[in-house]
């Protein structure tokens, strides 16, 4: 089967002259990746950082071509794509810093000593890479969460070869981005088998099944992600499956915030709900707004602002169809009221949609479309009459990636919202919109089930590297046989905990 | 159903006057635990550390009574039980140090700043407790891996209430140890619902199913652990299941080591294989020994030493029956040779067993009893003719908790063994026996599948706490609404990464 690239604006497909990967391809490539593990993971950290920086340089060098291809395949704006690619190469440079910092190895040395239980042997612990990692590119971020995305960057940073399954919504972009990765690997004389690119649905299943694959990173829908998670668990040797599955992210406007700045919040919301045609996994989908007159102002400003947003082209006509199915189900739901609806054209173009439901009706409608993510430019407003009703409604909402609260100064309602917040999402946002996920040491992009399959995991930020590592302890091991991270002389100059006491290893914790 | 306590030496059972827990009990207790989360996790770290130390004190105070009860129920020696209890109270004090150290919170602060992608908001990240944790006590460690064991200590240290399912092999010990925990909780005015004890098989299943339970820690058999792991995955909201499932731990004696000190190694091995009646999950079960004359010396010394070990009473006659089934299957296996066999008495008493197989025959017998853990005082020697054959045989062996290598100075064979070791186990041991797991910062007690359900997890050592936490990021959040761990003033005086740079927070990293 030939791989097709389709332009969602024109619906014209072109044959890329590439064949979908067979299960034999997956077997061969994953075995080659396994063979690359030892050589790749044993090269110096400085070399690994240099490889990541070279990848960033190559992505930058190919910028105009990559953006043009992605523009054709995704209909996302050139400005958005340029920004996404900038973020993508920044992410590789950031992980080069994370590698050089060395804390990700969690090196710890306990010298032999007496203890209340008798003599304790010399024990030393550091993290080691898991092995080949399967990466599933997303539809909505052709760079930052796809072939050159955070899963790829963090797995390479951890010392793991990668096998990437390209998303069918942008195969030409995926192929071109992979060429930049490959060129960097060649320039740095990386080991054979470090990188592989796969096309096709069955190749994705074979990737999760491949005995040589040690872990999987996935960004995509709840249905696909949970199915692949089950598949990873059903293997003879189950492997960790880190799925970032999106969410109907709640956003609360308190009574005081609505009284203070309903118009301002509504304008910002319109931008956040429609950013990238609403195709962000952090789009605020459930807006909890007071049922009073201030809330009415917010609703009418938001609907006015959304009405002015021009028609948007979604990533593909299939995704637009899915959006229309979702918004129709919302419109048909007896409990809700449609404020704005899509014009139902039937191609990849859609308009923003807005629905309203009372908190009371929301509470009486468990497990319905009112709770699910509607991927695209749509939001549901839940109108609450009392703070108690707000908390009940939040309690009845699935955990998500983000939980945003708009509040006023000295707001009587904010303390409890913030206290409950950690159970509702893994990123808690004060007076800002959730779309946009910064690459930094402190970012957490994930959340409790069902938004993520592994609740501690993040697919963005320095800690994304932790998913691809496991600790190993050496007992009574002569210095010459220890990994460099665990030598008393600390040749890598990394942070080490020695006999329980942290030592930074360098004057600065990071050389970024 | 009434809970029975059985003495394996006399086979006499006594009724403890306690009823097995019903699913209603589990529902009620897990809901109470959920209600305790907020209060418990928000008390100061210094208070939490004090609670852990008070538990240690109460366990010490009850020492003689606890040891006497455990002696009756497990037939383990008084000396062994005294040592295990010392280790158990040490473990609580150690986790008090881990709590005060504060690195487990992984606090990170990134102030708002400009970036190549535009302005980045203030982002701050710290770990938060998961919620109520279910703990399954083991059969073989009535203290250290049971009611007052490492799962309980690390979960309480993380800020999580615990619900402990007592192992049926020592219910009276479990009940008495729980009383010590409860007394400490009362002395420290801990919140209601922090601690619960459950009895009975069905209560264990209900514990894994309970909606309020957020994670499970388990130490036990492969079959039981994998079944419960599947159950945890099949929930509406799947939860992490950390199962430490034991293993047939490989131990290699190189040619040079056998030539140098076959007799010494054999004597140590006899002790390690029969320690605690061979009922350690780190017992060396697969001994890779040269097929030459030096190896023959080792085999004959080991069998002579094992023959002198007196009859041992196992934890229960069921466990002894299981041991006999295992050793009979080994004796019946066409590829192997029985060197020493149990005398098959049919009660809880057994004798050490030893089997031998050529590496060649081992390689021709995949997926048989030769590869499985035989819980109890038994070992299989795999005799290898060449180093290549040794590596092939190791390659064909399941990953385990420990991988031990006995080698000589300037040993030509050790480098490759150590290089391959991290894929074979998570604790790599040089010239020592694997039985005994020290409580320290650098311990890793876990291993790749199938020895552990989650390969990065450890059930012993400081990092055991990581299983019960997940990170949460606060974006643009005013100081007053932040958790203490994330304030600029660092009121907890804990390590914080600030704008990418690690700061220790105190002069010393740990106050242990």
Mean pLDDT over each residue of chain A, to the nearest integer: 96
Q: What is the pLDDT of residue A47?
A: 98
Nearest CA in chain A to B88: A117
Whether the predicted pLDDT of A165 surpasses 50: yes
Is B150 within 8 Å of B460 (Cβ atoms)?
Answer: yes
A348-385 pLDDT tens trace: 999 999 999 999 999 999 878 888 899 999 999 999 99
B450: preceding bond cis by omega (within 30 degrees):
yes
Chain B neighbors of A423, CB-CB under 8 A: 131
Whether the predicted pLDDT of A509 surpasses 70: no
A428-457 pLDDT tens trace: 999 999 998 999 999 999 999 999 999 999
**Token reading at A158:** 């951890």
Is B38 assigned a catalytic role?
no
Binary contact (A120, B455; C-beta < 8 A)? no
A9-26 pLDDT tens trace: 999 999 999 999 999 999
Closest by Cβ to A441, choosing from B478, B495, B500: B500
Q: Minimal CA–CA distance to B41: which of B238, B191, B230? A: B191
Q: What is the pLDDT of residue B511?
A: 38
Is A492 within 8 Å of A480 (Cβ atoms)?
Answer: no
Closest by Cβ to A442, choosing from B118, B123, B128: B123
Rounded-to-integer distance, Cα B268 and Cα A265, Å? 72
Nearest CA in chain A to B417: A481
Q: What is the pLDDT of residue A512?
A: 34
Q: What is the pLDDT of residue B505?
A: 83
% pLDDT > 90, chain A = 94
**Token reading at A171:** 């195969």
Q: Minimal CA–CA distance to A55: which of A186, A167, A163? A: A186
pLDDT band for position A93 (50/70/90)? very high
Interface with chain A: mutation pick from B81, B436, B473, highest number of A CBs within 10 Å: B473
A237-289 pLDDT tens trace: 999 999 999 899 999 999 999 999 999 999 999 999 999 999 999 999 999 99
Rounded-to-integer distance, Cα B378 and Cα B355, Å? 8
Q: Annotate A173-225 with DSSP letters as a single string.
A: HHHHHHHHHHHHHHHTTPPTTSEEEE-SHHHHHHHHH-TT--EEEEES-HHHH
A260-267 own/partner pairs: CB under 8 Å, 24+ apart:
A260/A408, A261/A408, A262/A294, A262/A295, A262/A297, A262/A298, A262/A301, A263/A297, A263/A298, A263/A301, A265/A298, A265/A406, A266/A297, A266/A298, A266/A299, A266/A301, A266/A302, A266/A305, A267/A301, A267/A305
Binary contact (A427, B475; C-beta < 8 A)? yes
Q: What is the pLDDT of residue B60?
A: 98
Chain A neighbors of B124, CB-CB under 8 A: 442
Q: What is the pLDDT of residue A224?
A: 96
A201-222 pLDDT tens trace: 999 999 999 999 999 999 999 9
Residues of chain B with pLDDT under 50: 507-512
Q: What is the pLDDT of residue A511?
A: 39
Whether the predicted pLDDT of A508 surpasses 70: no
Whether the predicted pLDDT of A507 surpasses 50: no
The CA R_g of chain B, rounded to the nearest whole Å, is: 24
Q: What is the pLDDT of residue A115?
A: 86
Q: Minimal CA–CA distance to A340: which of A317, A290, A306? A: A306
Rounded-to-integer distance, Cα A474 and Cα B405, Å? 11
Number of A:B CB contacts under 8 A? Answer: 224
Is A138 within 8 Å of A276 (Cβ atoms)?
Answer: no
Catalytic residue IDs of A: 244, 281
Q: What is the pLDDT of residue B118?
A: 86
A332-346, A407-421, B465-479: segment of lowest average pLDDT: A332-346
Q: What is the pLDDT of residue A366?
A: 83
């Amino acid at each position: 089967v030939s791989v097709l690239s389709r332009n969602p604006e024109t619906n014209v497909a072109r044959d890329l002259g590439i064949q979908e990967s067979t299960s034999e391809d997956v077997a061969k490539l994953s075995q080659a990746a396994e063979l690359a593990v030892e050589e790749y993971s044993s090269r110096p950290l400085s070399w690994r950082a240099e490889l990541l920086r070279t990848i960033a340089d190559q992505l930058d060098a190919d910028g105009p071509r990559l953006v043009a291809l992605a523009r054709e395949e995704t209909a996302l704006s050139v400005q958005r794509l340029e920004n996404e690619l900038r973020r993508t190469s920044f992410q590789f440079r950031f992980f080069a810093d994370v590698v050089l910092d060395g804390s990700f190895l969690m090196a710890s040395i306990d010298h032999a000593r007496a203890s209340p239980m008798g003599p304790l042997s010399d024990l030393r612990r550091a993290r080691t890479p898991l092995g080949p990692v399967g990466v599933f590119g997303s539809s909505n971020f052709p760079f930052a969460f796809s072939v050159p995305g955070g899963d790829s960057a963090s797995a390479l940073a951890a010392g793991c070869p990668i096998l990437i399954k390209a998303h069918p919504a942008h195969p030409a972009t995926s192929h071109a981005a992979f060429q930049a990765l490959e060129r960097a690997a060649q320039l740095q004389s990386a080991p054979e088998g470090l990188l592989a690119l796969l096309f096709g649905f069955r190749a994705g299943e074979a990737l999760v099944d491949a005995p040589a694959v040690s872990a999987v990173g996935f960004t995509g829908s709840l249905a696909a992600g949970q199915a692949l998670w089950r598949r990873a668990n059903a293997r003879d040797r189950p492997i960790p499956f880190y799925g970032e599955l999106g969410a109907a992210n709640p956003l609360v406007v308190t009574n005081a915030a609505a009284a203070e700045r309903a118009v301002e919040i509504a304008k910002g919301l319109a931008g956040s709900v429609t950013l990238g045609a609403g195709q962000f996994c952090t789009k605020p989908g459930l807006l909890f707004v007071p049922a009073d007159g201030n809330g009415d102002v917010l609703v009418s400003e938001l609907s006015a602002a959304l009405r002015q947003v021009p028609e948007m082209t979604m990533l593909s006509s299939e995704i637009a169809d899915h959006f229309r199915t979702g918004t129709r189900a919302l419109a048909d739901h007896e409990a809700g009221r449609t404020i704005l609806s899509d014009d139902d054209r039937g191609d990849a173009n859609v308009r923003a949609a807005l629905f309203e439901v009372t908190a009371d009706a929301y509470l009486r409608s468990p497990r319905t479309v009112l709770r699910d993510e509607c991927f695209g430019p749509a939001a549901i407003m839940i109108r609450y009459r009392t703070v108690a009703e707000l908390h009940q409604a939040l309690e009845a909402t699935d955990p998500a990636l983000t939980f945003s609260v708009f509040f006023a100064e000295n707001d009587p309602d904010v303390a409890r919202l913030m206290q409950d917040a950690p159970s509702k999402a893994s990123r808690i946002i004060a007076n800002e919109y959730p779309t946009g996920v910064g690459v930094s040491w402190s970012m957490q992009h994930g959340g409790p089930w069902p938004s993520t399959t592994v609740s501690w995991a993040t697919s963005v930020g320095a800690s994304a590297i932790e998913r691809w590592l496991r600790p190993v302890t050496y007992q009574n091991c002569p210095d010459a046989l220890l990994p460099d991270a665990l030598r008393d002389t600390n040749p890598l100059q990394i942070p080490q905990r020695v006999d329980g006491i942290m030592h930074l290893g360098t004057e600065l914790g990071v050389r970024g």
